[in-house]
Amino acid sequence: MQILVLHGPNLNLLGNREPGVYGTTTLAQINDDLRQMAEDAGATLESFQSNHEGALIDRIQAAGQDGTGFIIINPAAYTHTSVAIRDALSAVKLPFIEVHLSNIHQREPFRHHSMVSAIAVGVICGLGPQGYRLALQYALSQRGA
């Protein structure tokens, strides 16, 4: 199975960015770990990060055509604002899990609402980088389902 991991704005800064909230693991470490985990399970995994809403939408649309079977997405700040990312996810009809490093429900009220949760297979938040691993474990378990 081909799995796509999408990271939204500012997640390229992980490691330095508000380490008290997001931890010290870098995005490269998260991506390498997930790629290895997928490879060990005989799957392929590609990661893509962008600070631009349109680039994320273009990648989601491409996933509808390129054999992607499952998406793991942390839309970051776009989680709370982007009708367009939600519409792209609806359009491609690929199953996806929404992941957040922090527990968005323990934070400012504007982070409590997600535009994409209602159409996600599931949502994981507050578990740091391990949340991505758990999402990947689920995606792998769905092969052939």
Active site positions, annotated: 22, 100
Residue 101 found at the interface with ligand DQA (CB under 6 A): yes
- List the one residue out of 140, 132, 118 whose CA is nearest residue 31: 132
Known binding residue 102? Answer is yes
Known binding residue 80? Answer is yes
- Closest contact distance (angstroms) between CB of 135 and ligand DQA is 12
**Which residues ranging from 106 to 125 are in contact with ligand DQA (CB under 6 A)?**
111
Binding residue for ligand DQA (CB under 6 A) from 50, 68, 82, 102? 102
- Closest contact distance (angstroms) between CB of 111 and ligand DQA is 4
- Closest contact distance (angstroms) between CB of 130 and ligand DQA is 12
**CA gyration radius for the chain?**
14
**Beta strand pairing status for 68-74 and 44-49?**
unpaired
Structure tokens given for 46: 């590609």
- List the one residue out of 68, 76, 89, 88 whose CA is nearest residue 142: 68
**Beta strand pairing status for 2-7 and 44-49?**
parallel
Per-position x/- string for 31-70, each x denoting binding to ligand DQA as judged by CB under 6 A, each - no binding = ----------------------------------------
51 secondary structure, DSSP code: S
- Compute CA distances 44 → 39, 68, 109, 110, 125, whole Å: 6, 9, 37, 35, 24
- Closest contact distance (angstroms) between CB of 55 and ligand DQA is 16
**Chain residues in the site for ligand DQA (CB under 6 A):** 10, 74, 76-77, 79, 100-102, 104, 111
* Binding site as annotated, residues: 74, 80, 87, 101-102, 111
